[in-house]
Amino acid sequence: MHANVSFDYAMLRVVPRVEREEFVNAGVILYSQELRYLACCIALDCTRLRALAPNVDADVIQQHLKAFAHVCSGDDAGGPMAKLSQRERFHWLTAPRSTMLQTSSIRTGVCSRDGMSHEALDERLREIASTVLDEIPSDQNALRAFARSAR
């Protein structure tokens, strides 16, 4: 048995004008195959987004971000992609795109297996999100409710 648990994560970005390559971080997607965990934390700073693209429709962007969350959590509102396995959903969510919603390259992290649980990964997700997002859901239930899957 391994002493550590690995996880993969990627930042979710809003790129209002793809040709300019400017973006606003809007979330983090975290996946651990070993612990059967897939979750995302999404929070869009609309003020920052409007500074890059004053004419962007932030409501439409929010709807697309919610669709990402539905796919991540395996919610039926995510359509056919939400029915895929966790691994397939993670790779679909993090696949390269040339649209307004893009993800960073996938990064890998390692945690000690001791005490590792879904709750510990929730906390790790929160830590990562706090480094790239201006605001994140403040309570654990809001984070979990937004998009977490154990399927």
> pLDDT tens digits for 76-114?
999 999 999 999 999 999 999 878 999 999 999 887 777
Nearest to 94 by CA among 32, 24, 28: 28
The pLDDT assigned to 146 comes to 45
Q: What is the dihedral of CA 114, 137, 109, 29, to 10 degrees?
A: 130
Mean pLDDT score, 60-66: 93
Where does the pLDDT of residue 50 fall: very low under 50, low under 70, confident under 90, or very high at 90 and above?
A: very high
What DSSP string describes 9-50? Answer: EEEEEE-SSGGGT--EEEEEEEEETTTTEEEEEE---HHHHH
The answer to whether residue 148 scores a pLDDT higher than 60 is no
Full-model pTM: 0.83
Q: Which residue has the higher pLDDT, 34 or 113?
A: 34
The answer to whether residue 28 scores a pLDDT higher than 50 is yes
Nearest to 71 by CA among 52, 90, 56: 90
Given a contact cutoff of 8 angstroms between Cβ atoms, the answer to whether 31 and 90 are in contact is yes
Tokens of 53: 């693209």
Cβ neighbours, 10 Å, residue 120 = 16
For the chain, which residues make up each domain, given as ranges? Answer: 4-149
In whole angstroms, what is the distance from residue 116 CA to residue 123 CA? 11
Q: H-type helices in 81-139, by residue range?
A: 86-93, 118-132
The pLDDT assigned to 151 comes to 45
- Portion of the chain with pLDDT greater than 70, in percent: 85
In whole angstroms, what is the distance from residue 29 CA to residue 39 CA? 6
